[in-house]
Amino acid sequence: MGFQYLRDVATLELDIDKCTLCGMCTKVCVHGVLAVDGNGVRILDKDACMECGACAMNCPAEAVTVRAGVGCSWAIFRDWFRRSGDSGEGDIQCDCS
Amino acid sequence: MDEKATWFRGWMETSIGRVARISTHMGLRDTLGGCRVRWGIRRMHYHVPAGLYAVGQPTPESPVLVTANYKLSFDLLRRELSGKDLWLLVLETFGINVWCAAGKGTFGTTELINRVQKVQLDKLVKHRTIILPQLGASGVAAHQVKKATGFRVKYGPIRAHDLPSFLSNGQKASEENRRIHFTIWDRLVLTPMELVGAWKPSLVILLLVFIIGILSGQDFSLQGALSRSVSPALIYLGALLMGSFVTPILLPWIPGRAFSLKGAQIGFLWAFAVSLTLSSTWSLGSMIALFLIAPATAAYFAMNFTGCSTFTSLSGVQKEMRIAVPVIILSIVSGGVALLLGNLL
């Protein structure tokens, strides 16, 4: 119920040793997944992560990593069909117009 | 530049040449155009030229907002800016909205850097800040833009509607304005594209239903085939509507997390409603087929709404599909077998 999607799947990782506490990741996240508290940045709610990649993209220290992509069944269908041709792990990209 | 465009309000002379001034008023043609593209009609031809625009009477001190060149995005932004004096930098996103273009990389670091340099923004304004919509962040690395252009990227609120309060509040977005929502209205305006997208496969399915209607009759008459096709066709269209319209609307209130599971439940209710009205005339095989195929069809269409939603992840949808797609195929195939056996035996 509500707007919670599947649990324990998000690929978001935070390397606290690299973090410079700039707080950019907390500003760009649309789901409030990351937050700065007294000791540093923390992953508050990993299951709310939609893997949009904004945090990793805007982290100057490369402390945040995530396998970014679109949570879209059409993009994944296309990837399945494409991959039947070659075995490489390609980017799963939105092809909406 | 099309001087007859609805938003064009003349030219403004600046230190870097003349800049088009735009209106903050949304006319009937803008509103109708927005409705049209929501139905997918000529949606890929709905854009404004990339470049610099002026709102009101901006000065070298005025803020610079950055947006995509999808006209619907451009309209929703400019109508929130009445009474403001500022610059608008429109990126070339090929008629795609900010969030989707950021995902594709067209609303991206490279395009932003190139556009800032191309319009000579550093000669136009005295400050060194550009305001981007927060949803653009998945395509733009703020620190790289700063390094390449000297401009600091500031992420504004998610919704254009919250820009006035952002601007008057010392350019600070509240926590609330940084969170994405998915209101019933947000979901409703996305459903027409779902129906439009389902149109082509639906034609094939309806044709298949009709062919089965011809083959299953004794007489091969067109009228007999048509009358036999009506119920299955309506049941299919109902299941389609359950998956691509009713499920998105009721999304947060349907139990479960996977979209296909939500759609299957609504599809089951549809099958139940159909069975109440038709049960007296239907064979057991047809009844089993109904309860296998209708929920599977609705589940499939509901699953396709994942791409429209604001909270599904790539890893999540991959996991959902690894389970849902085989189950959907199995349900439809077994439904077909039940239908066949029920009518042959």
Put simply, the answer to whether B178 touches A30 (Cβ < 8 Å) is yes
Q: What is the dihedral of CA B57, B61, B62, B66, to 10 degrees?
A: 130
Please, which residues 25-84 of chain A have a Cβ atom closer than 8 Å to chain B?
A: 27-32, 48-54, 57-58, 60, 67-77
CA–CA separation, B195 vs B185, rounded Å? 16
pLDDT for the residue B345: 63
Which residue from B minimizes the CA distance to A78? B318
Q: What pLDDT digit, counting tens, does each position of A54-88 carry?
A: 999 999 999 999 999 999 999 999 889 887 655 44
Instruction: Tell me phi and psi for residue B65, to 5 degrees.
Output: -100, 145
Burial level of B77, CB count in 10 A (0-12/13-18/19+)? buried
pLDDT at A97: 60
What pLDDT, on a 0 to 100 scale, did the predictor assign at position A86?
A: 54
Pairwise CA distance, residues B183 & B185, whole Å: 5
A9 at interface of B, judged by CB pairs closer than 8 A: yes
Q: Which residues contact B280 (CB under 8 A, 6 or more apart)?
A: none
* Block residue for tokens 């500022």: B86
Element counts in chain B: helices (H) and strands (E): 14, 7
Tens digit of pLDDT at every position of chain B (345 positions)? 788 899 999 999 999 999 999 999 999 999 999 999 999 988 888 999 999 999 999 999 999 999 999 999 999 999 999 999 999 999 999 999 999 999 999 999 999 999 999 999 999 999 999 999 999 999 999 999 999 999 999 999 999 999 999 999 999 999 999 999 999 999 999 999 999 989 889 999 999 988 888 887 777 777 888 888 888 899 999 999 999 999 999 999 999 999 999 999 999 999 999 999 876 778 888 899 999 999 999 999 999 999 999 999 999 999 999 999 999 999 999 999 998 887 776
Q: List the structure tokens of B298.
A: 């609705």
3-class secondary-structure state, position B19: strand
The three-state DSSP-derived secondary structure of chain A is CCCCCCCCCCCCEECCCCCCCCCHHHHHCCCCCEEEECCEEEECCHHHCCCCCHHHHCCCCCCEECCCCCCCHHHHHHHHHHHCCCCCCCCCCCCCC
Query: Which member of A54, A57, A73 has the closest CB to residue B307?
Result: A73
**CB of A9 closer than 8 Å to CB of B313:** yes
Of B102, B179, B258, the CB nearest to A32: B179
pLDDT in the model for residue A87: 47
Show the tokens assigned to A65. Answer: 């990593």
The residue among B162, B160, B141 whose CA lies nearest residue B152 is B141
Query: Residue A1: is its pLDDT beyond 90?
Result: no
CA distance B287 to chain A (A): 30
Phi and psi (nearest 5°) for A34? -105, 145
